[in-house]
Structure 1
């Protein structure tokens, strides 16, 4: 088994104070803007590794429900799970103590299973628990194999990684709180979307399907996963303005008068006004969807008769998702259309009602969209 001896030229130097500050500023700025837990953990692990010149660094978290410790970041590996309290990291977390050892294989607490599985030789290890704002241990940093000539971690390394751990614990708690707030926003938006749809006898399944269709259409257009997810979470509010339309008009069995149809069309402006003043990105996106999902590519839509790319991409995507689902869904007043008939309509309206690129994305993403339609079928 490799004992990790390196030729002199392969060793790295300790960071200078200036280099250390640069690493800290660079990574804390990136962590502050990360939008996924996995990204936050990767950045934290990378920051710790560079600060103390280690070969690998992992950020371990506690899975309270399963009574396990897990890391989604292990340089050179994937997710690892171990029973709570096992191994060096388990000891550090359960006993709330920092640990430095020069050779893991001389310490009976070291769990060598992962080394056996991967062929990696763990030697020097440093493990430091981190806490949330209430002082409760929520995880630990673990650095493996010092890359300088000494080959072991020092008290200075402990000081530096403790600094990273203190920052990381607070950042993780803030991130998780932010995620909880966003998830609450999503639930509220979805519930409000269901209310808007129920006013016109649509269903919660329709809202879920339109949300998922919008997400995949956006990805098919080359939008980032983050923006596609934002649209997915905002699209359920597209008909929220219908809460202000009288039932007598929404549920009128016969043809609408011009005046009544104008009132129906007003739901786009009402929804926009309800949401437009929010400072939350999600609600601002929802206000755009509410306002523009009935605009048409050729300028004949409402409420602003926008044309082509004057229509926000969110509105263009939601229009396709909404119409596709409406046509394929059975209602008391109509039968569901067959798929061939729906696709023929989109081909006919490509460049008239709908953005041609979004229609192309619909065709490209059709297998995924049909799978969603089956999964979210109405009972």
Structure 2
């Protein structure tokens, strides 16, 4: 077997028997039913198809009608890729509503033009050797094509896909269409939630003459700190989405207090402190995970590690980790921004204060992570810097 061949004897496998096929289908059906993240659903779909027909690679493509493109975020061995809707073999299958079955990509004449623009061009770039190919479009419940399965290289001794493989992948495609339709709807709902949350956060800040970039920066800082604390990508992303709502309660604070250029009186400061409780009460009844997280952030981001914060004066690890993270993200950004009552601090002065407040205002562990993540934090600060023409900000 020459070096260009994709398979070798150590990699050869056997087709699944009926019992193994049922196990694969039921196992993946259960996993897919419990998965909410679109990218994870796509990966599970790809894995299911690959195992069912014993292929080397399986890619699930989705049609992005708004951009007239096909995209895949989980092609095995590849990062996200996007192609024009009509490009390559998968583009042909989708635009012509036709399943494609090829024994050898390098000798096939019928689809030569599409192969040269697709699989064979990719082979030249990567050194991979494409031989057998199958592409099967799939539909949503209205019958519209929303994507396609693409399988590459059979890993059995014959190295060619069979009619039975086509039948199995068609079955997987039918299931994929219905499942991905549901996942896409869930994804759209969650993206809408994110947009609403971010917009509401901007509204809260705009009343205190803060710029929208403040909530962007606090969100990104919180994300970096959560990653540095090993909370995991999913939880870090959750905090990033929720943290823009930290000051949403300011919508109910009078302008005379919110935008006072001088120092607040004791009575005014008590009014200002109410924004944490107001924000919490606005959000706490939601059953949505994102809004429940936002409620925690709104409630606890002014608590202090030493117990001298507000509104409840709780301390240490009694403060939720989300509140402790957002606290340092918010203070770092506030000190570096212009306010109606102060000029922006120099970076060295800010960093000195954060170090001094380790174990006082801030969780010592989070301060340590803050300094570890400082290069990335400063890149975010520069990326989302306020334009000089924007209004000065106000945070209490």
Q: Aligned residue for 2:236?
A: 228
1:45 alignment partner in structure 2: 46
Residue of structure 1 equivalent to 2:139: 131
1:177 aligned to 2:185?
yes
Q: For residue 18 of structure 1, what is the aligned residue in structure 2?
A: 19
Q: Does residue 335 in structure 1 map to residue 382 in structure 2?
A: no
What is the rounded CA distance, in whole Å, between the counterparts of 2:316 and 2:74 in structure 1? 44
Residue range with higher mean Cα deviation, 109-118 or 280-289: 109-118
Distance in 2, Cα, partners of 1:307 & 1:191: 31
Query: Which residue does 1:146 correspond to in 2?
Result: 154
The structural deviation recorded for 1:259 is 3.4
1:166 Cα deviation (Å)?
A: 1.4
Q: CA deviation at 1:271?
A: 0.7
Change (3 A) 1:12 1:228: same
Distance 1:346 1:267, change over 3 A: same
Q: Is the 8 A contact 2:146 2:177 kept in 1?
A: yes
Instruction: From 352, 359, 363, give the equivalent of 1:344.
Output: 352
- If asked which structure has higher relative contact order (CA below 8 Å, sep 6+), I would say 2
Give the whole-Å Cα distance in 1 for the aligned partners of 2:241 and 2:64: 27
Match of 1:57 in 2: 58
* Secondary structure of 2:135's aligned partner: strand
Distance 1:338 1:363 in 2: 16
Residue by residue over 1:153-184, the C-alpha shift from the partner in whole angstroms, topping out at 9 and shown as x without a partner, is 22322221112111212222222222222221
- TM-score, normalised to structure 1, is 0.91
Q: Which runs of 5+ in 1 are unaligned?
A: none
Residue 249 of structure 1 is matched in structure 2 by: 257
Give the superposition deviation at 1:63.
Answer: 4.4
219-228 or 110-119, larger mean C-alpha shift = 110-119
Task: Identify if the C-alpha distance between structure 1 residues 69 and 197 changes in structure 2 by more than 3 Å, giving closer, same or farther.
Answer: closer
Counterpart position of 1:85: 86
Show structure 2 runs of 5+ residues with no match. Answer: 388-396
Please state whether the residue corresponding to 1:160 is helix, strand or coil: helix
Evaluate the alpha carbon distance shift between residue 154 and residue 374 of structure 1 in structure 2; reply closer, same or farther with a 3 A threshold. Answer: same
Q: 2:361 aligned with 1:353, yes or no?
A: yes
CA offsets per residue over residues 295-332 of structure 1, 9 Å max, x none? 11011111121110110010001100111111111122
Instruction: Report the Cα offset of residue 220 of structure 1.
Output: 1.4
Q: Distance in 2 between matches of 1:212 and 1:79?
A: 23
Q: What residue number does 1:312 align with?
A: 320
> Secondary structure of 2:165's match?
helix
- 1:363 matched to 2:364? The reply is no
The Cα of 1:100 is off from its aligned counterpart by 2.2
Equivalent residue of 2:350, what SS? helix
Q: 1:342 to 1:20 in 2, by over 3 A?
A: same
TM-score, length of structure 2 as denominator length:
0.88
Q: 2:223 maps to which residue?
A: 215
Q: How does 1:294-313 map to 2 (within 5 A)?
A: 294-313=302-321
Return 96-105 or 206-215, whichever deviates more. Answer: 96-105
Cα separation, partners in 2 of 1:271 and 1:168, compared to 1, 3 Å: same
- The alignment partner of 1:129 has SS state of strand
SS at structure 2 position matched to 1:130: strand
Q: What is residue 392 of structure 2 aligned with on the other side?
A: none
- 73 and 215 in structure 1: CA distance in 2 versus 1, 3 angstrom threshold: closer
Q: Distance in 2 between matches of 1:82 and 1:199?
A: 43
Instruction: Identify the residue that residue 29 of structure 1 maps to in structure 2.
Output: 30
Stretch of structure 1 that moved more, 118-127 or 77-86: 77-86
Choose from 256, 276, 299 the match for 2:284. Answer: 276
How far is the alpha carbon of 1:5 from its aligned partner?
Answer: 7.3
Partners of 2:369 and 2:338 lie apart in 1 by 24
Deviations 1:81-123 (A, max 9, x none): 5554344323221211222233333322141222333333323
Deviates more, 1:144-153 or 1:298-307: 144-153
Q: Deviations over 1:55-79 (max 9, x none)?
A: 2212223344554444444334445
For 2:391, the equivalent position in structure 1 comes to none
- Find the aligned partners of 1:198 and 1:79 in 2 and give their Cα distance: 36
Once the two structures are TM-superposed, the CA of residue 235 in structure 1 deviates from its matched residue by 0.8
Q: Classify the secondary structure of the residue corresponding to 1:122.
A: coil
CA distance in structure 2 between the aligned counterparts of 1:28 and 1:273, rounded to whole angstroms:
39
RMSD: 2.3
Q: SS of the counterpart of 1:282?
A: helix
